[in-house]
């Protein structure tokens, strides 16, 4: 054994000697730089380049090549564009052109979609949209914006948190795991109208069954705690009036519950699978380190799957800001009473429908800007927090 | 802390419905004295890691008991055993800095932050990573990550330190360096340390006590040198030593050991079929010698020569013998004759493979 050890040591010494003999390329470059630096300090001249330095420079920039060769190389290096050309063409037609057109359209005053006539250029569309002074009644921009923000900023974090807790619970349950997974995924596959019907039985106050008035499941449960029935979705729904805004909080709750519920399956699917991919050794290590279950969840598990969580939050907020169908499904095409439950997309859609395209353009650009800002903030935060 | 393992058995149920259950560890009993560095050595699948995980409490034994000093910890939860465990691939939390990683066990023990910081720094100093406290594990080299893992295991002052293949992810040179390091840390702290390895050289070089295992059964326990000099069976003899031991088919007849038709030594054992194990350093070149080897080629390694030869009775394709480089061998290769050093020759029963 000791012989072996000595052998290894001898080899080590050999290697070290070899290293010392041959100065590597890196050393050469270093020595060149240090020479240059010395010259700068000694003579105060910055432009003195040794021959070696020039050689290195020419290698880096290729300055010794003839011009024709340079041109040829430039075009050759641009050949990558060919590969993305098909996608680029499609994007130009279906993405970039509409965006640019929306900008142009938003700046045309009193634009008539059919005749193509307009009264001049300016920001009047934006001003009128923001003031709510569109002269047609119906959806109010500020109301729609507040609605959308409230729906999104409550339902997305809530459903993500719930999805996280449910998927962590799912990974802990071994028997019937597949069955629970299926049940939890069902809302994802279910028709929106069917879900609407389910929600009606939950929340609707109006209806009769066996000649008795029904109040909806939720109200029945509230009744057990001696809480008066609430008109969740109807005309008499309780509302706070704040200035020009009305906050129909009961309807808000319905929408948020719906969004949380319908958003859960996809989030659970994603989080459950990313939980499966976490190396079990981290949990073993945490156990050895004496971490409690909640410590493991919040200090180990959550940070480890935080890239997925941040993905879900970002896409969730993007989707939430574009919410339309759920509100229409629950409250009809007028989005509640005269758009009191309107969303941004609902607003845009209304003005597209009644021919006031300019307002729709302006609204969609502002929605675009808002989503952009939120996404940038999201990105910034997640880059800071989600990094390892 | 003294560790006493009594009749420890671990059976894993088979994955298939009608398959046989797998016995990973079979009736294992070892006494580990306090403050020693103990190596569990064996080929992969011999149950050494399973044993370690049962010591840590991450795996529950099927049968048997584990005592730390006189306390029965068999059913105690891992965090209550007072152990530190270094995982094979370190399992450093990637989202925490080095400092946070090392402090993690302390924050779980609700130790005040300032005190925890001071302790973490002490542990970091011990493994010489105090300059890296602000980095994330992904910004560390393999060797540095390993030190962090050791610091994290040591920071709570465990009674027992467990290391699962601590050197397997390091390159050859770093491995040499780190194993000295582990030895040094163990000496400085005096913590009873158990580590798992499949590398016999690694185990022999740093262990106080070595436990050789095969298929869940302990083959031999003892100091590395004494196991090397006195292997209890063919497996242990074969597993220890580089280059590995040479094995010949042989027999004992009338008090003489035969390899092929040649008498190589005398013995007092009864007549039987045997396996003869000869360490590479157990050959003495002698033109009048008793064992003839058909030399294939010679590898010169500076300090000594390695003679690679063939023999009909050898269990391996070639016989490797190491002689001093200043021994003059004849120009003509062909057949060379050797005598054997009696203390480098081990006789095993051909059937039981136990030492005679």
Assigned domain for B305 exists: yes
% of chain B with per-residue pLDDT over 70: 100
3-state secondary structure of A237: coil
Instruction: Indicate whether B195 and B82 sit together in one domain.
Output: yes
Say whether A285 and B281 touch across the interface (CB within 8 A): no
Mutate which: B55, B57, B78, B102, vs A, most A CBs within 10 A: B78
The residues near A46 (Cβ < 8 Å, ≥ 6 apart) are A40
**Are B64 and B11 a contacting pair, CB within 8 Å?**
no
ipTM for this prediction: 0.81
CA distance A16 to chain B (A): 12
Say whether A304 and B109 touch across the interface (CB within 8 A): no
Kindly indicate the confidence band of residue B161, based on its pLDDT and cuts at 50, 70 and 90.
Answer: very high
Q: Give residue ranges of A with CB < 8 Å to any B CB.
A: 1, 3-8, 10, 12, 279, 281-282, 284-292, 295, 299-300, 303-304, 306, 387-388
Which of B95, B108, B241 shows the shortest C-beta gap to A291?
B108
Residue that is last in its domain, among B215, B239, B263 = B239
Residue that is last in its domain, among B186, B205, B239 = B239
Measured CA to CA, the distance from residue A354 to residue A135 in angstroms comes to 12
Which stretch of A194-198, A279-283, B12-16, B167-171 has the lowest confidence by average pLDDT? Answer: A194-198
**Are A244 and A142 a contacting pair, CB within 8 Å?**
yes
Higher pLDDT, A246 or B77: B77
Assigned domain for B355 exists: no
* B102-120: average pLDDT: 91
CA distance B95 to chain A (A): 5
pLDDT at B166: 86
Instruction: Indicate whether B162 and B46 sit together in one domain.
Output: yes
Q: Which of A255, A308, A264 is nearest to A166 (CA)?
A: A264
Number of domains forming the structure of chain B: 2
Higher pLDDT, A43 or B342: B342
Mutate which: A280, A282, A285, vs B, most B CBs within 10 A: A285
Which residues in chain A touch residue B89, judged by CB atoms under 8 angstroms apart? 281
Which residues in chain B touch residue A19, judged by CB atoms under 8 angstroms apart? none
Assigned domain for B308 exists: yes
Domain range for B78 is: 3-239
Measured CA to CA, the distance from residue A147 to residue A248 in angstroms comes to 10
Say whether B94 and A388 touch across the interface (CB within 8 A): yes
% of chain A with per-residue pLDDT over 70: 79
- How many A×B Cβ pairs under 8 Å? 80
Which residues in chain B touch residue A279, judged by CB atoms under 8 angstroms apart? 91
B105: closest chain A residue by CA: A289
Kindly indicate the confidence band of residue A62, based on its pLDDT and cuts at 50, 70 and 90.
Answer: low
Q: Which two tokens stand for residue B176?
A: 């040499």
Which of B91, B201, B225 shows the shortest C-beta gap to A282?
B91
* A238-255: average pLDDT: 81
pLDDT per position as a tens digit, A25-38: 555 545 544 444 44
pLDDT per position as a tens digit, A319-338: 899 888 888 888 877 777 77
The pTM of the whole model exceeds 0.90: no
Instruction: Indicate whether B64 and B186 sit together in one domain.
Output: yes
Instruction: Indicate whether B142 and B291 sit together in one domain.
Output: no
Kindly indicate the confidence band of residue A381, based on its pLDDT and cuts at 50, 70 and 90.
Answer: confident
B203: closest chain A residue by CA: A1
Using the predicted structure, report yes or no on whether residue A233 has a pLDDT greater than 80.
no
Instruction: Indicate whether B201 and B293 sit together in one domain.
Output: no
Measured CA to CA, the distance from residue B120 to residue B115 in angstroms comes to 9
Say whether A289 and B104 touch across the interface (CB within 8 A): yes
Q: Where in chain A is the domain with CATH 1.10.3720.10?
A: 136-385
Mutate which: B95, B159, B344, vs A, most A CBs within 10 A: B95
pLDDT per position as a tens digit, B256-306: 888 888 888 888 888 888 999 999 988 888 888 888 888 888 888 888 888
Assigned domain for B92 exists: yes
Task: Write down the residue that tokens 């962590």 correspond to.
Answer: A168
Q: Which residues pair with B339 in a beta bridge?
A: B284
Q: How far is CA A3 from CA A70, B226, B323, in A?
A: 61, 17, 12
Say whether B83 and A388 touch across the interface (CB within 8 A): no
pLDDT at B335: 85
DSSP per-residue string spanning A176-225: THHHHHHHHHHHHHS-HHHHHHHHHHHH----EETTEE---HHHHHHHHT
Q: How far is CA A181 from CA A156, A185, A265, in A?
A: 21, 6, 9
Residue that is last in its domain, among B239, B272, B289 = B239
Tell me which of 3.90.1150.10, 3.40.50.1370, 3.40.50.2300, 1.10.3720.10 is the CATH number of domain A136-385.
Answer: 1.10.3720.10
């Amino acid at each position: 054994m000791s012989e072996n050890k000595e052998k290894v040591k001898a080899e080590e010494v050999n290697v070290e000697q070899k290293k010392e003999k041959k100065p590597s390329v890196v050393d050469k470059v270093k020595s060149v730089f240090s020479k240059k630096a010395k010259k700068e300090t000694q003579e105060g001249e910055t432009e003195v380049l040794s021959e070696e330095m020039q050689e290195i420079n020419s290698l880096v920039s290729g300055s010794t090549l003839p011009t024709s060769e340079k041109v040829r190389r430039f075009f050759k290096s641009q050949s990558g564009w060919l590969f993305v050309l098909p996608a680029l063409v499609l994007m130009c037609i279906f993405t970039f052109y509409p965006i640019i057109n929306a900008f142009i359209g938003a700046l045309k005053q009193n634009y008539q979609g059919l005749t193509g006539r307009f009264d001049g250029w300016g920001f009047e569309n934006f001003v009128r949209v923001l003031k709510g002074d569109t002269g047609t009644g119906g959806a109010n921009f500020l109301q729609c914006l507040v609605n959308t923000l409230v729906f999104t900023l409550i339902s997305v974090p809530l459903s993500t948190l719930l999805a996280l807790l449910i998927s962590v619970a799912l990974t802990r349950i071994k028997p019937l795991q597949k069955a629970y997974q299926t049940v939890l995924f069902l809302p994802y596959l279910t028709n929106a109208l069917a879900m609407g019907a389910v929600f009606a039985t939950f929340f609707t106050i109006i209806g009769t069954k066996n000649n008795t008035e029904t109040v909806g499941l939720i109200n029945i449960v509230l009744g057990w705690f001696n809480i008066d029935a609430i008109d969740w979705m109807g005309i008499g729904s309780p509302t706070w009036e704040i200035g020009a805004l009305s906050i129909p909080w009961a309807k808000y709750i319905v929408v948020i519950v719906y969004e949380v519920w319908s958003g859960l399956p996809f989030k659970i699917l994603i989080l459950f699978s990313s939980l499966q991919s976490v190396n079990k050794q981290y949990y073993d290590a945490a156990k050895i380190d004496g971490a409690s279950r909640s410590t493991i969840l919040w200090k180990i598990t959550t940070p480890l799957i935080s890239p997925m969580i941040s993905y879900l939050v970002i896409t969730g907020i993007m989707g939430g800001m574009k919410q339309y169908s759920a509100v229409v499904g629950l409250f009809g095409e007028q989005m509640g009473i005269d758009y009191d439950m309107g969303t941004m997309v609902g607003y845009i859609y209304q003005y597209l429908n009644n021919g006031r395209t300019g307002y729709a353009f302006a609204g969609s650009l502002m929605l675009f800007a808002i989503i952009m800002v939120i996404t940038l903030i999201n990105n910034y935060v997640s880059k800071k927090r989600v990094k390892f | 802390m003294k560790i006493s393992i009594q009749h420890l058995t671990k059976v894993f149920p088979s994955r298939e419905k009608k398959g046989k259950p797998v016995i990973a560890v079979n009736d294992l009993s070892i006494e580990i004295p306090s403050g020693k560095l103990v190596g569990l050595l064996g080929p992969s699948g011999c149950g050494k890691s399973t044993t370690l995980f049962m010591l840590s409490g991450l795996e529950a034994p099927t049968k048997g008991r584990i005592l730390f000093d006189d306390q029965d910890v068999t059913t105690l939860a891992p965090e209550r055993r007072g152990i530190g465990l270094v995982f094979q691939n370190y399992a450093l939390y990637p989202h925490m800095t080095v400092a946070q990683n090392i402090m993690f066990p302390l924050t779980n023990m609700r130790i005040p932050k300032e005190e925890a910081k001071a302790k973490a720094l002490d542990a970091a100093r011990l493994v010489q990573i105090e300059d890296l406290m602000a980095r994330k594990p992904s910004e560390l080299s393999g060797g540095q990550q390993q030190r962090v893992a050791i610091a994290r295991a040591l920071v709570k002052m465990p009674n027992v330190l467990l290391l699962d293949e601590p050197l397997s992810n390091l390159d050859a040179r770093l491995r040499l360096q780190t194993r000295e390091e582990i030895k040094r840390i163990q000496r400085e702290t005096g913590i009873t340390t158990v580590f798992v390895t499949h590398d016999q050289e690694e185990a022999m070089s740093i262990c106080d006590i070595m436990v050789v295992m095969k298929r869940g059964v302990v083959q031999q326990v003892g100091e590395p040198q004494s196991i090397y000099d006195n292997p209890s069976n063919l497996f242990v003899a074969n597993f220890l030593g580089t280059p590995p031991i040479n094995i010949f088919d042989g027999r004992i007849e009338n008090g003489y050991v035969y390899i092929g038709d040649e008498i190589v030594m005398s013995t007092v054992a009864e007549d039987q079929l045997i396996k003869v194990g000869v360490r590479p350093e157990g050959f003495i070149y002698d033109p009048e010698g008793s064992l003839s080897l058909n030399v294939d080629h010679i590898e010169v390694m500076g300090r000594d020569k390695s003679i690679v030869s063939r023999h009909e009775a050898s269990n391996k394709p070639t016989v490797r013998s190491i002689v001093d480089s200043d021994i003059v061998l004849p120009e003509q290769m062909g057949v060379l004759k050797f005598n054997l050093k009696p203390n480098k020759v081990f006789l095993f029963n051909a059937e039981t493979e136990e030492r005679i």
